[in-house]
Structure 1
Amino acid sequence: MSANDSEKYIREEIAWLSKPLGENKPYLGICLGAQLLTRHLGSKVYKLENGAIEAGYYPIIPLPQAQELTSEENILFPEMVYQWHSEGCDLPYGATLLAEGLTFPVQAYQYGSHAFAIQFHPEVTYMTIDRWTRLGGERLRMPGAKPSSEHLSDWHLYDQNVAQWIKAFLPRWLNNEDSS
């Protein structure tokens, strides 16, 4: 599934984003949701010419403005995150870049104070990764994908940091929404 697909429901989702954005409601786009927001804001979602994807844990580079999101809690933006995508996106006009990556440069951005887009998956559980790697075998044969054995072993190494970050980020973001 791609934000570039021509199916009616994809076009409807992209158009629907004018509702939460227009009403200054919170929006968190994860992976495809980030790419839908990117398309809604008029920027490009693309595959790499070499066919490389990100499937597994990859390093990202949080920028100073990303660290400010949870600095009061002394929890840093994660630097190793779980990815499961074959497309990246350009930074939309007016958005603030929060994190960069080596394969796909735009890994996270903020649009205004209400909308966040992240290419990675902070919501994945061990069971989710196990299922994706068992049922998504074709993706694991694509250039750039990590071996399936690394997905689960890396979850043990990196999930705690990602979980701490998302648990600190969400309440702070949503509490900030109450005051706007």
Structure 2
Amino acid sequence: MTSGMKSVVAIRHLAFEDLGVFEPVLEELGYRVRYLDPGVLGADALEALDVESPELMVILGAPIGANDEALYPFLGAELDAIRHRLDSGRPLLGICLGAQLIARALGGRVFPMPEKVIGFADVSLTREGQEGPLRHIGNPDSVLHWHGDMFETPPGAVRLAYSHDCPHQAFAVGDTVLGLQFHLEADPGRIEQWLIGHAVELAEAGVDPVALRQQALLLGPDLERRGQQVFREWLMAADAANQLIPAAP
């Protein structure tokens, strides 16, 4: 690893639901990405994971529920890893399932929505959301939603965003913990992988993949730019909060 390079561990549940458009920002800011796939490696890999050393830890999305440890036992080990990371005070980002698991680890509820929300639709910001990195997405403006459950903003966290169907869309704990229900990281140029990988879910939810593809082509470039602005600003603030940015010579 290059001297001075920082590290990020990303817990990934599906190969195509990765860091997406966030990866160029990480490269720009001097991070080396390591993916951990618990579905391949099992709970033992999570139990053995050093959750304190990486400068950043990210928990990515998946089409399973945050309350499904009985069906997917590795989720119990994942929750434990998240709790240890929270205790360390070091930067932690959760997206979709990841945000729901962080909410659970902080004592918040995760529960089913009346119906799944899949597609590009508006998200609005609270006053606190407008004062932080999320202001770059606009208020309101379209983002990619893809979830059937939602979290409740957990105790000690600040609610940052909401939508018509989902009153809890984003939360933060200080400058170092961020939970996003929506997918700013998704690469619109790779939407076909999502359409193929979630084909059954789309059919069950009555979502037209042709329309979703067209939305990605239309909104993708601007949403990619705004998502990277959000992530860059949050990550730099999280680094600063943990005194991880070296002092200028």
Q: TM-score range by the shorter chain?
A: 0.7 to 0.9
The two structures have a TM-score, normalised by structure 1, of 0.84
* Number of the residue aligned with 1:62: 125
Change (3 A) 1:46 1:130: same
Partner of 1:138: 200
CA distance in 2, matches of 1:164, 1:130: 24
Give SS of 2:90's match.
coil
- The alignment partner of 1:124 has SS state of coil
Structure 1 or 2, whichever has the larger Rg, is: 2
The secondary structure found in structure 2 opposite 1:172 is: helix
Deviation at 1:142, TM superposition (A): 4.0
Identity across aligned pairs (percent)? 25
Q: Which residue pairs with 2:168 in the alignment?
A: 106
Contact 2:136 2:227 in 1 (8 A): no
SS, match of residue 116 in structure 1 = strand
Q: 1:162 to 1:147 in 2, by over 3 A?
A: farther
Contact kept in structure 2, 1:98 and 1:110, CA below 8 Å: yes
- Distance in 1 (CA, whole Å) between partners of 2:237 and 2:211 is 32
TM-score, normalised to structure 2's length?
Answer: 0.63
Change (3 A) 1:148 1:167: farther
Equivalent position SS for 1:76 = helix
Amino acid at match of 2:183: H
Alignment of structure 1 residues 74-153 onto 2, 5 Å: 76-78=136-138, 79-143=141-205, 146-153=207-214
Give the gaps of 5 or more residues in structure 2.
Answer: 1-63
Aligned residue pairs total 174
Shift in Å at residue 90 of structure 1? Answer: 1.1
1:110, CA displacement in angstroms?
0.6
| One-letter amino acid of the counterpart of residue 154, structure 1 | Q
Between stretches 84-93 and 167-176, larger displacement belongs to 167-176
> Can you list the C-alpha shifts for 1:119-163, whole angstroms capped at 9, x where unaligned?
0111111343211112312222344x6422232332332523333
Unaligned regions of 5+ residues in structure 1, if any? none
Out of 240, 243, 249, the residue aligned to residue 175 of structure 1 is 240
Q: 1:149 to 1:176 in 2, by over 3 A?
A: farther
